Amino acid sequence: MLKKLLVLAALLTPVVAFGADKSKDDEPVEHLTDEEIYEQLKKLALVFETARDNFVEEADEKKMLEAAMNGMLQALDPHSSYLSADDFKEFNDKSLGEFGGLGIQITSDRGAVRVISPIDDTPADKAGIKAGDYITHIDDEPVFDLTLNQATKKMKGRPGTKVKLTVISEGQEPRTITLKRAIIKVESVKYEEKKMADADEDTDEKIGYVRISDFGATTTKELTKALEKLEDKDVIGYVLDVRNNPGGYLTAAIDVADAFLDAGEIVSTRGKRPTDIERNFATPGDLANGKPVVVLINHGSASASEIVAGALQDNGRALVMGSQSFGKGSVQQQKPLGDGTAIHITIARYYTPSGRSIQNEGITPDIEVLQSKIEVLERKESLYSEASFKNSLKNEEAEKKDKDKSDDADRELTDEEKDALDYQLQRAMDMVRAMAKLQERAKIVPMTPDDDVADVADDDAAKENDKDSSEE
């Protein structure tokens, strides 16, 4: 038994070392000799056998070993983990755009579960869970002793069943939310042409709105279709909304950035060794035809979202607006172990075209626009009027209007009304409109100083000719 354990651990060791990072405190790593590694592996096997033989109940050997492997990987960084056969299958199903659960992207943070972001139109999103929230309990059980995979499993289940989460938002008291599990069908890309909230009804200015909720296997195809349809609508520019987008496939992020670029570097990934550098460049063909682009980001924009925002920002192709992004600048890869299981391992950091690392920093928007709401400073009615007098006669028509207003307040907002309340979106569309006007003005070529000199010279020559003609 001991010999088998040593072989298993030895097989795992090279794979783990490939993704190993420096310690959190940037202290130099003290490497063990082969003999020291062997002694530590013997100790691991001894701990396993001792625990199995002496634990008060029947020990689950598979559970113990999987926990040991998972702990080994999570000691590297929050994004590395062991995937059981079920976990690996679920990961692949999710990447194909459909999976069961609550629709929430999470990470491990100081023993708690932190929300990277909810996915659009899912139970988590509809329940009001936000990026940056912490989940402390699942069905009244604390999450502090759970691995990330275990916490994820507890939140998943048969569609239609319920799960109770205790959630803490910044500056608020803990709240308990009961959510109903569902089949999560992720449409990566949603699009439509929009008008400003205060635009005239007869205005022809239409802005292409493209919302990417995550970067999956179908994102590139969906985005290409969206841009083709919006170009047919003759939009004046684009808002690319990646707020609360937790990321996904690196290849999908590269393709999305490439869709808006004709040339230039998109991203570089740098691994453990100096030679482990890969650069990705844009190919000719801007599907937005050079029209203005504003990228909207916020604290929930992570990983692949940051690659896209950084690429378009560094290449001068788009303005980035919103708030500081999440700051996940590392690349993970699945490495199958040959028996249906795999490890999810951090293999590289990524850098924007200008050489910026996003890790722990995020993308800084060109123009910071925090989500806000408009406050009316002037009252519609005066405090002092006929209506302010005691026992003044009522206006029957006004009472009817008040009732109608009350009924309107109870109804669900339309999409247009929701857009009008989205302050960041309105400012982004404002910027697209301004950039489009600047582009139009640039097409009118102004007279240069050289043209002025040439015109004056022509006028002088004409006058000399007239003078000579009159003298003759």
Nearest-angstrom CA–CA distance, 350 and 247: 13
* Active-site residue list: 303, 314, 328
Q: Taking the alpha carbons of 151, 157, 159, 164 in that order, is the dihedral positive or negative? A: negative
Beta strands (DSSP E) in 31-174 are 81-83, 98-101, 104-109, 112-118, 134-138, 141-142, 162-168
User: Shortest CA distance to 356 belongs to which of 417, 428, 268, 283?
Assistant: 268
Q: Read out DSSP for 292-326?
A: -EEEEE-TT--THHHHHHHHHHHTTS-EEEES---
Nearest-angstrom CA–CA distance, 282 and 316: 14
- Number of Cβ within 10 Å of residue 166's Cβ equals 18
Q: Read out DSSP for 73-112?
A: HHTT-TT-EEE-HHHHHHHHHHHTTEEEE--EEEEEETTE
Nearest-angstrom CA–CA distance, 406 and 390: 24
Nearest-angstrom CA–CA distance, 220 and 255: 6
Residue 472, exposed/middle/buried by CB under 10 A (0-12, 13-18, 19+)?
Answer: exposed
Residues 6+ apart with CB under 8 A from 298: 131, 243, 244, 322, 323, 325, 371, 424
Nearest-angstrom CA–CA distance, 237 and 18: 44
DSSP state of 215: B
Token reading at 142: 């604390």
- The order of strands in the sheet holding 207-212 is 189-194, 207-212, 238-241, 293-297, 319-322, 367-368
CA-to-CA dists, residue 252 to 11, 94, 209, 389, 437, angstroms = 32, 15, 19, 66, 31
Chain-centroid distance of CA 272 in Å reads 26
Nearest-angstrom CA–CA distance, 390 and 388: 7
DSSP state of 364: P
Beta strands (DSSP E) in 327-405 are 330-336, 342-351, 367-368
